[in-house]
């Protein structure tokens, strides 16, 4: 997976640096994705209404794996439109993923990681996975200097 790093296209009023100095490395984002306890999943309903809810999950193999019932609001929304945004809880160390989800048969290593993290093993070997096509990340304390966009060549 090739990752292209650049500055996000925010309005000039945000004062985002135009220089590479200070941009975050993808490894910084991955560390936070691996350590996060909860992930917020944002979807849209058939009428376009936004919906967001926290889920447990794991970051592995370049994607966030999480479970939700296909009959839940998230599950129904993702079944109709797989596009989603997943972000972490922190507003101080921000990682936001954009991409499409799919239901996949997961490896035992993913289930093992889930169990180590939560003391709970998902009853199904089929989980949702979001592999990002774009990510945004920054440290709020020095936002204009660290705001970074990552685009993935898959």
Q: What are phi and psi of 65, to 5 degrees?
A: -105, 130
Contact 59/30 with Cβ under 8 angstroms? yes
Q: What is the pTM of this model?
A: 0.94
Domains and CATH numbers, the chain: 24-142 (2.30.110.10)
Average pLDDT, the chain: 95
Query: With 70 as the cut, is the pLDDT of residue 86 above it?
Result: yes
Work out the number of other CB atoms within 10 angstroms of the CB of residue 153.
8
Query: With 80 as the cut, is the pLDDT of residue 68 above it?
Result: yes
pLDDT in tens, 95-150: 999 999 999 999 999 999 999 999 999 988 999 999 999 999 999 999 999 999 99
Query: With 70 as the cut, is the pLDDT of residue 154 above it?
Result: no
Contact 81/55 with Cβ under 8 angstroms? no
pLDDT score, position 153? 87
Three-class HEC string of 18-53: CCCCCCCCHHHHHHHHHHCCCEEEEEECCCCCEEEE
pLDDT in tens, 4-26: 999 999 888 999 988 899 999 99
pLDDT in tens, 132-146: 999 999 999 999 999
């Amino acid at each position: 997976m090739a990752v292209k790093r650049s500055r996000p296209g925010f309005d000039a009023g945000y004062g985002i640096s135009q220089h590479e100095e200070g941009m975050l490395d993808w490894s910084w984002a991955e560390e936070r994705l691996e350590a996060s306890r909860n992930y917020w999943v944002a979807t849209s309903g058939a009428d376009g209404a936004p919906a967001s809810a926290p889920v447990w999950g794991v970051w592995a193999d370049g994607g966030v794996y999480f479970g939700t019932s296909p009959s839940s609001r998230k599950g129904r929304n993702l079944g109709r439109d797989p596009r989603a945004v997943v972000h972490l809880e922190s507003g101080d160390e921000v990682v936001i993923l954009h991409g499409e989800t799919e239901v996949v048969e997961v490896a035992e290593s993913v289930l093992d990681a889930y169990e180590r993290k939560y003391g709970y093993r998902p009853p199904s070997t089929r989980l949702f996975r979001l592999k990002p096509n774009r990510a945004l990340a920054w440290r709020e304390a020095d936002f204009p200097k660290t705001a970074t966009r990552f685009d993935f060549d898959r």
